[in-house]
Structure 1
Amino acid sequence: MFSVTVRDHMMVAHSFSGEVFGPAQKLHGATFVVDATFRRPDLDADGIVVDIGLASQALHEVVGALSYRNLDDEPAFAGRNTTTEVLARHVADTLADRIAAGALGEGARAVIGLVVTLHESHIAWASYERSL
């Protein structure tokens, strides 16, 4: 299996419901380093998994739509805690939609797997992996 990973970041504000979150129940900010890994069994005719430039652009657009926002006010997350895991899935699903729409080029349609990892810090991160 071949893979290519691109990286970006996002800064958000949010709060959580539930005692398990302790002080994070209050509005707070978070900065995430975001990795998106595209996987496929074979390379395309040009010898690549996906166009890195298009993948980088797509990831930047997806995280840019969330950056500098209070996620508590975003309709896409109404009634849900925007945990690192939930955000990883949201980014992965949005990237998958872009692949299906052709935004990463025709060659990207052969991508069969996508993993999105959000790094909260140098010692904690969460991922969501999905098939395409």
Structure 2
Amino acid sequence: MFFLGVSDHVMIAHSFSDPFFGPATRMHGATYTVDVEIHAKALGPHHVIMDIGALRDALRRALDTLDYQNLDEHPAFPGRTSTTERVAEHVAGLLAETIAKLPVDEAPLPGASLRVLVRESPTAYAGFERAL
């Protein structure tokens, strides 16, 4: 299995409505490091999974929709549900949409998968995986 990865970061503000989250129900900021990997059983016609620069650019565009935003007001997270897992799922969806629009010879081969890992600290993270 081959894999290709890129990383970037995003700065957000948010709070949670569920009392389960204790002090995090109050507004707070976070700087998330976001790691993205595409896993594929085979390489494409250019002997890569896809162009690493194209993946890096796609990640930046996805993160630009969140950067310096209050996620309590973001339509992707109704009811103040912007948990780390939900942020990873949202980014994965945006990336999958972008990758699906690539020309066939630039896209990962059928059967590839996408993994998004969102680190909220050096020791805590959550993620989301999906097929492409």
Q: TM-score, normalising length from structure 1?
A: 0.93
Cα deviation, residue 109, structure 1: 4.2
Structure 2 distance, partners of 1:45, 1:106, is 6
Identity of aligned residues (%): 44
SS at match of 2:13: strand
Q: TM-score, normalising length from structure 2?
A: 0.93
Runs of 4+ in 1 over 3 A off after TM superposition: none
Q: Which residue identity is paired with 2:107?
A: A
Cα deviation, residue 20, structure 1: 1.3
Cα deviation, residue 19, structure 1: 1.6
Map 1:4-83 onto structure 2 (within 5 A).
Answer: 4-83=4-83
Cα deviation, residue 76, structure 1: 2.0
**Greater displacement, 72-81 / 57-66:** 72-81
Tell me if the contact between 2:62 and 2:95 (Cα under 8 Å) persists in the aligned partners. yes
How many positions carry a matched residue from both structures?
131
Cα deviation, residue 18, structure 1: 1.3
Tell me if the contact between 1:102 and 1:109 (Cα under 8 Å) persists in the aligned partners. no
Cα RMSD over matched residues? 1.4
Q: Which runs of 5+ in 1 are unaligned?
A: none
SS at match of 2:22: helix
2:109 is matched with: 110
